[in-house]
């Protein structure tokens, strides 16, 4: 078990479960690594049991499967720029920034990008700029924050009035649920064959009045789950609903994003 020196029973069992699945050298439980991953941009410090840095989306699935088998809680982490302790946890930290950082495709004709969750926002901007495009939301941490993290906390930035929140720019997601379901979420998805989505739709149908009157009442209502995206009139848009859920409902392994035209001239006005 490379770089894993914590021989506590739970970490040892997690490593054994991964070895059974043919996955090696993704765990790190050294004291230094655990200390490095114990904090984010918040005031909190929570030392994890172990850190996983999967190299492929297939390894992500295996890590989550092994964690489920051992009862190890999972916290997904991008760059750790969260200000409320969102990227720290007591169990397994799943780091997507180390290896899952590929821009799979930029389609200039339809102005979209397909990316892995660990892609840094400024890297996507640089790639999109070659086509005269940009990803709208740009928080102050854009040179290190990841797209997966931006979706997790529904990031905005100073251009949100023009381009909206991250949820307004998410077209589709590839995710793995806590039950191990691997789901592709877009407007063409068939939601009636996924048990978790059928249950989610049932919850919304049973509470239509509350969802319509209490959720999505103003632009920056991003605390909690954005259930308004699941209303029938909003076409049960689960991808947009997952933005802001902080990895508590599913782990993102891929995203399709809307790009916008990058203005040729820009000016800043300070009021």
What pLDDT shows up at residue 4?
52
Q: DSSP label at 263?
A: P
What pLDDT shows up at residue 1?
47
What are the mean pLDDT values of the chain's consecutive 10-residue runs (271 residues total)?
A: 66 95 94 95 95 96 97 95 92 96 96 97 96 92 93 88 91 94 84 82 95 88 88 94 93 97 84 86
Cα dihedral 18, 19, 25, 28, rounded to 10, equals 50
Q: How many CA atoms lie less than 13 Å away from 229 in the CB half-sphere? A: 21
Q: What are phi and psi of 252, to 5 degrees?
A: -80, 130
Q: How far is the C-alpha of 115 from the C-alpha of 74, rounded, in Å?
A: 22
Q: Which two three-digit tokens encode residue 242?
A: 């997952």
In contact, 86 and 246? CB cutoff 8 Å:
yes
Helices (H), 21-146: 31-36, 57-70, 121-129
Tokens 């649920």, residue located = 177
In contact, 242 and 165? CB cutoff 8 Å:
no
What pLDDT shows up at residue 5?
57
Q: How far is the C-alpha of 89 from the C-alpha of 48, rounded, in Å?
A: 6
H/E element, 38 = none
254: β partners: 174
Instruction: Kindly give the pairing relationship between strand 92-95 and strand 74-77.
Output: parallel
SS3 111: coil
What pLDDT shows up at residue 78?
93
What pLDDT shows up at residue 3?
60
Q: Which two three-digit tokens encode residue 65?
A: 């499967």
């Amino acid at each position: 078990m490379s770089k894993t020196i914590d021989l506590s029973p739970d970490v040892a069992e997690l490593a054994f479960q991964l070895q059974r699945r043919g996955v090696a050298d993704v765990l790190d439980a050294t004291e230094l690594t655990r200390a490095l991953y114990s904090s984010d941009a918040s005031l909190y410090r929570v030392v994890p049991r172990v850190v996983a840095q999967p190299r492929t989306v297939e390894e992500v699935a295996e890590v989550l499967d092994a964690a489920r088998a051992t009862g190890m809680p999972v916290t997904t982490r991008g760059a750790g720029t969260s200000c409320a302790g969102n990227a720290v946890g007591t169990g397994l930290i799943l780091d997507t920034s180390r290896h899952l950082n590929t821009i799979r495709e930029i389609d200039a004709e339809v102005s979209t990008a397909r990316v892995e969750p660990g892609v840094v926002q400024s890297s996507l901007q640089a790639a999109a700029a070659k086509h005269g495009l940009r990803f709208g939301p740009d928080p102050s941490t854009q040179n290190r924050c990841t797209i997966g993290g931006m979706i997790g906390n529904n990031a905005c930035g100073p251009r949100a009035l023009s381009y909206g929140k991250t949820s307004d720019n998410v077209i589709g997601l590839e995710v793995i649920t806590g039950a191990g379901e691997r789901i592709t979420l877009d407007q063409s998805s068939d939601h009636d064959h996924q048990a978790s989505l059928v249950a989610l739709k049932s919850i919304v149908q049973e509470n239509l009045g509350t969802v319509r009157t209490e959720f999505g009442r103003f632009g920056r209502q991003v605390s909690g789950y954005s259930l308004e995206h699941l209303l029938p009139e909003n076409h049960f848009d689960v991808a947009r609903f997952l933005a802001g859920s902080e990895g508590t409902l599913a782990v993102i392994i891929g995203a399709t994003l809307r790009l916008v035209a990058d203005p040729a001239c820009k000016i800043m006005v300070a009021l």
